Amino acid sequence: MRAALSIREAQTRLRQGSLKARDLMEAAIVAADRHACELNVFAARADSDGLLTAADKIDRRLATGEAVGPLAGIPIAIKDVFGTKDLPTTASSKVLADHHTGVDAEAVARLRSSGALVVGKSQTHEFAFGPTTNNEYAGPSRNPWNPDHVPGGSSGGSAIALAAGMCMGATGSDTGGSIRTPSALCGVSGLKPTYGLVSRRGVLSLAWSLDHAGPMARSVDDLAFLLEAMAGFDARDSGSVDRPVQQYSALMNQPAGPLRIGVPQDYFLDLVDVEVHAAFDASLECLQSIGCKVHPVSLPSMKYALGAELAILGSEASAYHRDRLKRQAEDYSPNVRRELLAGLTILASDYLLGQRVRGLICKDFATAFQNVDVIATPTVPIVAPLIGATQVVVNGEATPALDAIWRNVFPTNLTGSPTLSLPNGFSKSGLPIGLQLIGRYFDETTLLRLGRDLQAVTEFHRQAPPMIDSA
């Protein structure tokens, strides 16, 4: 299943009868049985017999010509911050050990109503508060391209499951890059939609004004199918935006067209590993080869972005966890507890200043988008560091690993802009590199089409980790 089969291809073959939903599910189960424990992918797995029974039911419905949903039979993984009616939702934390919501998060409910089958709850950095999925409580999740390295986070389990063929789609949440970072470091595709496009009801919050929920998949075309199922207004999510859902999967049949691609002259390319930079330069040449024009853009307020993100995220996360910290402080892993307690010391004036800076950054992006259609950057300026590494060397200089990992991704959590990460090559050591494409509000279609056009002329998204390919 990992090789090249897309959701679109699976849909066609299922309806033609040349493929069975049972085949898809058996392949996902076999892959998980082989590698899930070794890579620490799942916080909980669904019952295999139950999944096969559900797949058989879909096959019978297809055989009799009964209508099925657009994702019927597609195996998906759900990040362990999304509530699920039939599996525990623990945020990979002792604090919520064996916690059951008894109800699906809205995004999960929509995926299920489209026919998708949930194979399990994927590991996350505890409470989604970290970019590595090196979880002190649940243990480290491991990059399938090299298990000594982190998969990125916090949606690390979802990215591993996709790269290893344990599912064909997955959910992620993204507060400071948590969909895009693991997508880049594990060689899969991930989309942080515009803030408010996908409901976050039933998703454990990290920082409510920064939180996004979105899809992860092997290819950009697959993302379109997942986003179409997940998106839509939810009156019970205060951040949800009431606007019609586009038929993203059908819109993917049209080319992106010649686009103006902006390359930031501020911040995003200031700290980039030489191999990552070379891959980015090659992607710009590829974009030009398919008719795009590259233009410099200025984002002068980005020099204040980190302070704004830390003030907002720290304040909101600590407020969300304040009552649990009073009752269960010792159940939090030390690194997460330390961050949450530090957040309680942030002054209201600092939080408000952070929000004011956020407005300046939004204006910079709005100005840039008057002259370009998409902004391109490396997703992560380094390849996946070793598990436990606190420092990385970038172009001969040591820098904190965590700072480097999330440097290029958190800014669009501040703006709420739709942002896509897709595979963009490999380092000499065989670790994946990602390309980040940022779009205008609610213009996911342009990002998806452009990403699809790039994947039509590259093969990075079709490559499997050696340990999986040889299994």
127 closest CA partner among 210, 41, 204, 208: 204
Query: In this predicted structure, what is the pLDDT of residue 268?
Result: 98
154 is catalytic: yes
DSSP letters for 144-191: TTBTTB---SSSHHHHHHHHTTS-SEEEEEESSSTTHHHHHHHT-EEE
Identify the band that residue 257 occupies on the pLDDT scale cut at 50, 70 and 90: confident
Query: In this predicted structure, what is the pLDDT of residue 4?
Result: 62
Instruction: Tell me the pTM.
Output: 0.97
Query: In this predicted structure, what is the pLDDT of residue 192?
Result: 99
322-330: Cβ within 8 A, 24+ apart = 324/95, 328/95
57 is catalytic: no
94 is catalytic: no
Side by side, the strands of the sheet bearing 432-438 are 42-45, 117-122, 75-79, 169-174, 212-217, 189-192, 419-426, 432-438, 374-378, 260-264, 293-297
Summary mean pLDDT of the chain: 97
Identified catalytic residue from 154, 173, 183, 417: 154
Q: Rounded mean pLDDT of 108-113? A: 98
Distance in angstroms (rounded) separating the CA atoms of residues 278 and 272: 10
Which whole-number Å values give the CA distances from 319 to 72, 249, 328, in the listed order? 40, 39, 15
DSSP letters for 63-77: HTT----TTTT-EEE
10 Å CB burial of residue 398 (0-12, 13-18, 19+) is exposed
The H or E element that residue 436 is part of is strand 432-438
Identify the band that residue 439 occupies on the pLDDT scale cut at 50, 70 and 90: very high
Query: In this predicted structure, what is the pLDDT of residue 470?
Result: 61
Largest CA distance in the chain: 64
Please give the single-letter amino acid code of residue 370: Q
- Domains of the chain (ranges; CATH) run 7-469 (3.90.1300.10)
pLDDT in tens, 1-37: 434 699 999 999 999 999 999 999 999 999 999 999 9
Q: Rounded mean pLDDT of 103-112? A: 98
Which whole-number Å values give the CA distances from 97 to 78, 88, 89, 317, in the listed order? 17, 8, 8, 20
Helices and strands in the chain: count of H runs, count of E runs: 16, 15
Task: Determine the 3-state secondary structure of 87 from DSSP.
Answer: coil
pLDDT in tens, 380-424: 999 999 999 999 999 999 999 999 999 999 999 999 999 999 999
337 closest CA partner among 353, 318, 323: 318
Identified catalytic residue from 6, 93, 155, 178: 178
